[in-house]
Structure 1
Amino acid sequence: MKVEEVMTRKLVTVEPDDNLGLARDIFQRTGFHHLLVQEEGKLLGVVSDRDLLRAISPHIGTLAETERDLATLNKKIHQVMTRKLVTLPPDAQLADAVAAINRHPISCIPICNHKGEAIGIVTWRDLLREMEHHLRA
């Protein structure tokens, strides 16, 4: 089976100079866990909800919140994004995606066309969902 058969095609992107507050809002609205970072259509990186949580104050939204805590939302995405990307073409096999996630400290793989443009994303959850489907069949 090819990754294009399980990849998510609905991509949400941000730009490197967007702030973490925007990323936080997108994560909360969409339920996604990864955002592709692009500039002028070029894929530069990925920012995950875990990257966001590591970068912002844990006091945001609590009674202990201060202006300093809120200021962490003004950090730029390029300050926390993953730049060393592992990508695959849409015709790669699911086994290639599993191998990539097992061999690298990543939780998603952008799927790129022959021009290097992101056309989808595969996460470890997508792979587990497909595995469950086959195990139950």
Structure 2
Amino acid sequence: MTNVAQLMSLNPVSVSPDDSLAVVKQIFDHVKFHHLLVVEDSVLLGVLSDRDLFKALSPYLGTAAETPRDLASLNKKAHQVMRRKPVTLQGQANVKDAVHLFNTEGVSCIVVVDNQNRPQGILSWRDIIRALDRTDKRAAQ
């Protein structure tokens, strides 16, 4: 059985808990992934998704109706918006464990950590679908 370490994306991008949402927005504006890890002293504290960011920012940013109050939403800190108890697995966990967590926890990513809660990678449901697609293609050959 495949374990999550074989499917996870390595080197997930992280921010510190005191980074502003302006920093987080800058990252999300230039990448194709949807989750940032919030890490301090190499230890996972939380996860911040692009949807979390979207909900935390004023909808008037960048519009003619923008006010100083709207701009101030960019000054919030990552720790104010992050999910504080992220769903995690260790690398040797199997894919069935991950699928179970996706179905029961309602998350779109699982952080793969070592036994000291240091991030090793990140697993999304898309990683699992990609692996299944590769398996199907190999079986069809």
TM-score, normalised to structure 2, is 0.90
Identity %, equivalent residues: 47
- Root-mean-square deviation over aligned CA pairs: 1.3
Distance across 1 between alignment mates of 2:99 and 2:137 = 19
* Structure 1 partner of 2:5: 4
1:88 aligns with 2:89: yes
> 1:44-123 to 2 correspondence within 5 Å?
44-123=45-124
1:24 corresponds to: 25
Match of 1:40 in 2: 41
Per mean C-alpha deviation after superposition, the further-off stretch among 59-68 and 107-116 is 59-68
The CA deviation at 1:19 is 0.8
Secondary structure at the aligned position of 2:18 is classed as coil
Shift of 1:33: 0.6
> Which consecutive residues of structure 1, in runs of 5 or more, have no partner in the other structure?
none
Per-residue CA deviations over 1:10-35 (Å, capped at 9, x if unaligned) read: 21111111111111111112222100
- Pairwise CA distance, 1:115: 2.4
Distance 1:27 1:2 in 2: 28
Q: Matched residues in 1 for 2:103 and 2:131: separation? A: 16
Question: Which one has a bigger Cα radius of gyration?
Answer: 2
Instruction: Note the residue ranges of structure 2 that are not aligned, 5 or more in a row.
Output: none
> How many aligned positions are there?
137
- The two structures have a TM-score, normalised by structure 1, of 0.93
